Amino acid sequence: MASSPPDRKRRLLEALPDQPEFVATLDLVWRQAQSSFPGARLGEWLEACHVLAESDVGRDCVVSYVRSAPAIASAAGADAALSIARMVSETATRAGDRAAASLAMVAPRAARRLANGAAFAEWLRVIKIVVAAAPESVTPLLDRSESLLQELGVQGFEAWVLDGVRQGATDPQKRLAFFTRRDQPTLRTASREEDEVSLSDVERQLKAFVMALWHMAPPIRDLPSGAPDRPRRASFAGGIVRLPSSFRGQSRDEASLLYRAAIAHVAAHLQFSRTKFAIGSPKPLQVALISLVEDARVEHLAMRRFPGLGRLWRPFHIATPSGALTAPALMARLARALIDPGYADDNGWIQKGQEMFFAEETRWEDPGISRSIGGLLGNDLGQMRVQFNARTYSVEPAYRDDNQGLWAFDDVSAPVDEQETIFESVRFEREDDAEQPDRERETPEDAADGQEANRAALVEVDAEVGIPVARYPEWDFLIGRERPEWATLVEYEASEGQADAVEDILHRYPVLEQRITKLVRSAKVSRPQRLRRQQEGDRLDLDACIGVAIDQRLGDAPDPRIYARLERRFRDLSVLLLLDVSQSTNDIVPGAGRKVIELEREATALLAHAMAGLGDPFAIHAFCSDTRADVRYYRLKAFDAPYDAAAKRHLAGISGGFSTRMGAALRHAGRELSTRMSYRRLLLIISDGEPSDVDVADRRYLVEDARHAVKSMARLGVDVFCVGLDAGGDNYLTRIFGRRNVLQIDRVERLPEKLSMLYFRLLGS
């Protein structure tokens, strides 16, 4: 009973006499629809329109859909246009007509931007999730959808949106705030495309490069995002080298070269621009030109030592002797003329600059020439009445820095301090304020979670300043990828308790203490060694056999010990004990009548005593977390520190608070452990509960992340075992660590038998 599309259309229009707008719109797009819906699809589309028009979806939505559908179909295919019809009706039901109308209007633009059916389907899937999980946020999200897609691409869009949904899982206001906020710190990390080179990809290489060239290790940091209308430039003001977190629109190789050129340029400044110019009287134009000459001066000095740097820098100078006589264009040409002696320019001002600069070749060591030549050129350029806008000016070419570091502004600290910090490699990094809003936002909710009592106890810890030491990625099982630099690990000073408390534990369990010591001693975790001249063994010892033959000929009684065997004789094992000190460790262990944290302390004290007595290298760290911006990490005892009163005080001083973001802590501990020179490296995490954090509502997310972290430990050559102190926690602990690697105990008395299992597994695997 197939009828031709025009018939279908006619019947459709007749069926809806009360919808004149619909009719008019359909007529309007009819020609376009005929070309974008091939063959039978046109009929299907009319059917979909009909269904939509007769549903209780608002008229505006239907009209919007009819108007957009042909455009969607031509950009992303007929299927996409048809699925939008279903989506519009679903959205209208769940999120209201306004959201549905937005969807119909935004969809064609998204389809055009994504330009293929698969990507559009991805986008639609994400919108669908938002419609289901966060209906109030659909409209604001759709309004921003196009710019977000432009900035992030569809994958980044997905990552960002899912993060928003998760962060505000139970709180519509919070979700709405997330989706309407403009200056998203999260956008920065989500915005990394897979094939883009970011600073973190090349940072290590750049550091090694500067170290190789100049034997110095300036701290390198991300450049905080500045005004969007100006291209971003490197900077070394304040003793810290800041580089853009990525160079947009550059291919991988180009971006790597650009980073390299930028760091080489900054290094040349650090090497040769030792004193700063006093800002004094020069006008902005002169400041720019003095800086430009100074750039050329330090580059030439650097090239005297490393001529190859010229090949690195010169290709970025692409100014040619033509084009408009604007200040930026002339300055780009001057920059080229000063670094490239072979470059000839017909402009008199540039020729003059080139001549003056190269005439002073013997005096290049003196930064004063930058000031005099730059000042003169600035005057000349000023008299040429060319436009110069200091606010929009950005240094060209892109590898050069913004020159802020060259000038001593009145309010910055003394240059002497800065020089010192430049040449110090700073291990701890103070965090930029970028993450701050996140934390502030979370704080009220903490209190709402009924943790007030705990808060009071933790004021003291809070007052101490933690030092952010690293950012770790987090595995997101929903998107099947790692979110880069997601969790910030902050190290705090461990608080102190009474060392006696730890001693008491040993006194309380004397038998247990001996058993554990004996157990640890008997665990021979090391490379096997060949033992020769044994009574028994798995192979003959050739030397011994010769000895027997000799003895026989001499008529002596031969030595019967003619075997050799392999045996593990020593223990070559580094152990890192990682304690979970989250709020839940204040709970009572079911059946034991003791707090989890007490049990943790006892187990740790017993083990530490045994290991210290046997001289095994071990460390005790602890962690808890307060959102991903503040994964708290305490070093109770470091590997190279003795297990002395200080370590015991730290162990006695642990108290439970905050949440359990296990993945980041595992990664941090694993990274440290992986540098130990041992035959085996054991990360023993003592935890009571499921990973959780206040900014994560999805229970599975942190479990999966921890599981992923454990897997990555294996690649680092670290064995991870978990001592679970909660009999009920079997499921997720098994999920995270694997069935063989979880030891459940509910009484410290059971520690020895569980430990022997652990050592046995260490040897067996």
In the complex, the residues that contact other proteins under the rule CB under 8 A are 202, 204-209, 211-215, 217, 256, 260, 264, 306-309, 311-312, 530, 543, 546-547, 549-550, 553-554, 677
**743 CB-contact burial (10 Å; exposed 0-12 / middle 13-18 / buried 19+):** buried
Measured distance CA(612)–CA(589) in Å, rounded:
28
Length of the chain counted residue by residue: 765
Could you tell me the smallest distance in angstroms from the CB atom of residue 425 to other proteins? 9
Task: Enumerate the β-bridge partners of residue 470.
Answer: 489
Could you tell me the smallest distance in angstroms from the CB atom of residue 259 to other proteins? 10
Could you tell me the smallest distance in angstroms from the CB atom of residue 540 to other proteins? 14
Name the residue nearer to other proteins (CB basis): 260 or 680: 260
> Hey, is 635 helix, strand or coil?
strand
Measured distance CA(650)–CA(492) in Å, rounded:
12
* b/e map 166-185, b = 16+ CB within 10 Å: bbbeeeeebbbbbbeeeebb
Name the residue nearer to other proteins (CB basis): 187 or 213: 213
| Closest by CA position to 629, among listed 134, 141, 130, 167 | 167
| Closest by CA position to 205, among listed 264, 273, 271 | 264
Name the residue nearer to other proteins (CB basis): 306 or 428: 306
- Angle at alpha carbon of residue 644, lines to 641 and 648, rounded to 5°: 105
Could you tell me the smallest distance in angstroms from the CB atom of residue 619 to other proteins? 17
Name the residue nearer to other proteins (CB basis): 312 or 506: 312
Name the residue nearer to other proteins (CB basis): 563 or 737: 563
Could you tell me the smallest distance in angstroms from the CB atom of residue 502 to other proteins? 29
Structure-block tokens of residue 641: 């520190």
Could you tell me the smallest distance in angstroms from the CB atom of residue 212 to other proteins? 4
CB 9 within 8 A of CB 46: yes
Instruction: Name the CA dihedral angle for 301, 307, 312, 314, rounded to a multiple of 10 degrees.
Output: 70
CB 657 within 8 A of CB 581: yes
Could you tell me the smallest distance in angstroms from the CB atom of residue 343 to other proteins? 21
Task: Enumerate the β-bridge partners of residue 476.
Answer: 481
| Closest by CA position to 729, among listed 666, 686, 695, 669 | 686
Could you tell me the smallest distance in angstroms from the CB atom of residue 315 to other proteins? 13
Could you tell me the smallest distance in angstroms from the CB atom of residue 422 to other proteins? 16
Give the residue ranges of DSSP H helices in 464-594: 499-508, 510-522, 542-554
Name the residue nearer to other proteins (CB basis): 564 or 733: 564
Could you tell me the smallest distance in angstroms from the CB atom of residue 307 to other proteins? 7
Name the residue nearer to other proteins (CB basis): 532 or 594: 532
> Hey, is 183 helix, strand or coil?
coil
Name the residue nearer to other proteins (CB basis): 308 or 444: 308
Name the residue nearer to other proteins (CB basis): 299 or 693: 299
Say which residues have a Cβ less than 8 Å from residue 720's Cβ, sequence separation at least 6.
666, 670, 683, 685, 710, 713, 714, 737, 741
**Residue found by looking up tokens 């938002």 in the block:** 130
Measured distance CA(110)–CA(149) in Å, rounded:
8
Name the residue nearer to other proteins (CB basis): 299 or 513: 299
Per-residue HEC secondary structure of 6-64 comes to HHHHHHHHHHCCCCHHHHHHHHHHHHHHHHHCCCHHHHHHHHHHHHHHHCCCCHHHHHH
Name the residue nearer to other proteins (CB basis): 564 or 629: 564
Could you tell me the smallest distance in angstroms from the CB atom of residue 216 to other proteins? 9
Could you tell me the smallest distance in angstroms from the CB atom of residue 205 to other proteins? 4
Name the residue nearer to other proteins (CB basis): 205 or 514: 205
